[in-house]
A and B are shown apart, each in its own frame.
Chain A
C-alpha cells in the first residue's frame, strides 16, 4: 500500500487499484517489475554483476590496489604474471616496461574508464535532454534547426567525429570526454524528442497545461519522467561505447596521455613489447573487453525489461 501512487503508472486504477476493496491484489511496483523482468535474463545479471565489480574496484581503488599506479620498481621490469615462469607473487599480474605493477594500473584504469563514461554520458545526456525537449516543445523552426545540427553530427562516423573534436581541442583525457559527449549527443537528442513528442498529445499533459504549468514544469516534471526508459537504455549502451572510444583515442595517442593508467593508453605505450611480454598488451585489452561487454549485457537486459512490446 505504501507505493500506491507509483502503481497508477502501470495499472489501470479502475480495476487494479489497491484502494478498490473488491480487488485487494497489489500489482508490483514498476521497479519490482523491472527487476523481475531483468532477473530472467541471465546475461543481463552477469553484466550487472560485472558492472558492480568494476564500480567497486573504481571506488575503492586506493584500498584494493596493492601498489601505486605510477610507482616504478626498477628491480622488477617486465616481470611476468605470478603463475607464469619467472613470475613473482608480489606482482600478481606482472609489471610493465618501467616496473609498474600491472594489477594496480588496471584497477586505477577502471576508475578512469568509469569516470570517462560517467562524465561524457552525463554531459551528453543532460544536454541531449534539454535540446530534445526544446525541439519537441517548440517545434517549427527551432525543431528543424536542432535536428539538422544533429544530422550533421550523425553524418560523421563516431570515431572520426571524436578525432575531429580532438583536432580542435587538442589531445588529452578531459578533451576526450568532451569529444565522446559530442559524439553521443545526437542519439540522446533524437530519443528524447521522439519520446516527448509521443507524450505531448497525452491527456495528462493537456491537464497539466490547463492547470497552468509553465513550459519548464510541463517538460521536465510532467513529460520527462515518462520518456526516461529509452534514455536509460541508451545511457547504459552509450557507456560501453564511451569506454571503447576513450580507449581507442588513448590508443591513437589522442586521449589520456602517459603515464595515466588509462587502458587504451597503457596498451599503446606497451606496443613494442607485444612479442616479448604478452601480458602488457593482453591484460588492458581484456579489461576493456570485459567492461564494454558488461555494460552491453546490462543495457540489452534493461532494454528487454523496459520495452513493453517484448513483455508478456
Chain B
C-alpha cells in the first residue's frame, strides 16, 4: 500500500511542476509586455516601465523568477490582484466556500438521482424505463448548461416565482461567516428563516451544475451494473433462489459501485469547470465567476492563482480517489 501511494505521488509531482510552469508561462506568453498587459497602460515612459519591471520582479532571469514564483506559491503567496490590491490567496479563500457549497450540493443531487436511475435502468433493461432514463441522460449530457440554467430561471423564478433569480441569500440576512457556507452558517446561528432563504437560492444552481454529472453517473451506473449482472456469481445467487432485490442489493450493487465511485471523483473537475458558467449566470460569488471577471479585467495574477488552485484541487481529489480505489480494489495496486 505504501509503495502504491509513493508511486502515485511520484507521478503527481511532475504534473504539479508542469502546472506551475504553465501558470508561470501564462503571463509571459501574452502578446506584448507583461507590464503593459497588467497595468493596462500603453506608451508609458521608459523610466516608469523599468520601475514597474523591477516592482514585479520581471527584470531578473526567468529561472530565478520561476523559482521565486514556486517558492512563494508553496508558502501560499500568489501575489496581489491588480484591480483590488488584495492578496490573491485571500480572495480565493473568501470565494472558495461558495463554490464548494454549490459543488457539494450538485454532486449530492447527481448521486441521489443518478445512481438509482442507473440501477433501475440496468435492472429493467430494454424496458420503457431503461429507454426513458437513457434518453433523458443523453439529453442532460448534451445540454449546454448555461442555456439550461436560463430555462430554469425563466420557468421557476420568473414564471412561477418559486425561487430567487440570483445570489446566495436574501439581502436582509447577513449571517456571521464561520465556514463560509451559507447553509452551515445560518444553521449555526439558528436562524431558520435565513437558512430557508439560502436553501432557496441554492436549488437552481445545484440543478444546473448537477445535470451533467447526473447524466454521466446514470449512464456509468447502468453500464457497470449490466456488466456485473452478467457475472457468474450473480447467476449463482439467482440460482440459489435469492429474490431479485437481494441479488441486486447484496451481490451486484457493491461491485458495480466501485467504478462508479471513481467516476464521482472524476466529476470534481467537471463541477469546477461547470462552476465557471453556473456562477456567472446565477451571480454566485465563487471562484468561477471571480476568474471570468479577472480575465475580462486582465487581472493576470488572479487568473494565474485561480488556475493553479483549481488544478491543485483537481489533482488532490484525483489522488484521494485513486487511493480509495486502491483500498477498495487491491488488484489495482500492482
Q: Using CB atoms and an 8 Å cutoff, list the residues of chain A in contact with chain B.
A: 43, 148-149, 151-152, 155-160, 163-164, 166-168, 170, 240, 244, 247-248, 251-254, 264, 267-268, 271, 274-275, 278, 281-282, 284-285, 288-289, 292-293, 296-297, 300
Contacts and interface: CB of A to CB of B under 8 A. Distances in A.
Question: Which of B269, B273, B291, B310 has the largest number of chain A CB atoms within 10 A?
Answer: B273
B276 A163 contact: yes
Closest 8 pairs between A and B when the two form their complex, measured CB to CB? A285-B147, A152-B18, A157-B273, A159-B273, A157-B269, A292-B142, A293-B142, A288-B144
A152 B22 contact: yes
Contacts of B26: 164, 167-168
A163 B22 CA distance: 13
B282 to A, nearest CB: 13
A275 B154 CA distance: 7
A251 B141 CA distance: 18
B14 interface: yes
A268 B280 CA distance: 11
A152 B26 CA distance: 14
B303 interface: yes
B315 interface: yes
Nearest to A250: B146
Contacts of A292: 142-144
Question: Which of A167, A271, A289 has the largest number of chain B CB atoms within 10 A?
Answer: A167
12 contacts: A152-B15, A155-B314, A164-B26, A167-B26, A167-B303, A244-B142, A251-B146, A253-B296, A274-B150, A282-B151, A289-B144, A296-B141
Interface string B144-170: 111110110110001000000000000
Contact of B144 (A156, A247, A300): A247
A156 B314 contact: yes
Interface of B (DSSP majority class)? helix
Contacts of A285: 144, 147-148, 150-151
Contacts of A289: 139, 142-144, 147
B277 interface: yes
Contact of B11 (A151, A240, A275, A282): A151
A72 to B, nearest CB: 24
A299 B150 CA distance: 28
Contacts of A268: 146
Question: Which of B146, B269, B291 has the largest number of chain A CB atoms within 10 A?
Answer: B146
Contacts, number: 125
Contacts of A160: 272-273, 276, 291, 307, 310-311
A160 to B, nearest CB: 5
Given A152-B22, A163-B295, A244 B144 contact: yes
A148 B158 CA distance: 48
Nearest to A253: B296
Contacts of B146: 247-248, 251, 264, 267-268
Given A240-B142, A281-B150, A157 B31 contact: no
Contacts of B310: 156-157, 160
A148 B315 CA distance: 13
A149 B144 CA distance: 29
Contacts of B269: 156-158
Interface in B123-150: 138-139, 141-148, 150
Contacts of A156: 19, 269, 307, 310-311, 314
A229 B288 CA distance: 37
**Contact count band on B:** 35 or more
A50 B296 CA distance: 36
Interface string B10-26: 01001100110010001
Contact of A166 (B154, B158, B295): B295
Contacts of B153: 274
Contacts of B175: none
A155 B138 contact: no
Contacts of A267: 146-147, 150
A149 B292 contact: no
B30 interface: yes
A151 B295 contact: no
Contact of B292 (A148, A152, A252, A297): A252
B295 A296 contact: no
A148 B31 CA distance: 27
A29 to B, nearest CB: 30
B274 interface: yes
Contact of A159 (B14, B138, B276): B276
B8 to A, nearest CB: 12
A152 B318 CA distance: 13
B160 to A, nearest CB: 13
Nearest to A148: B14
Contacts of A288: 144, 147
B303 A155 contact: no
B138 A170 contact: no
B262 to A, nearest CB: 15
B114 to A, nearest CB: 17
A246 to B, nearest CB: 10
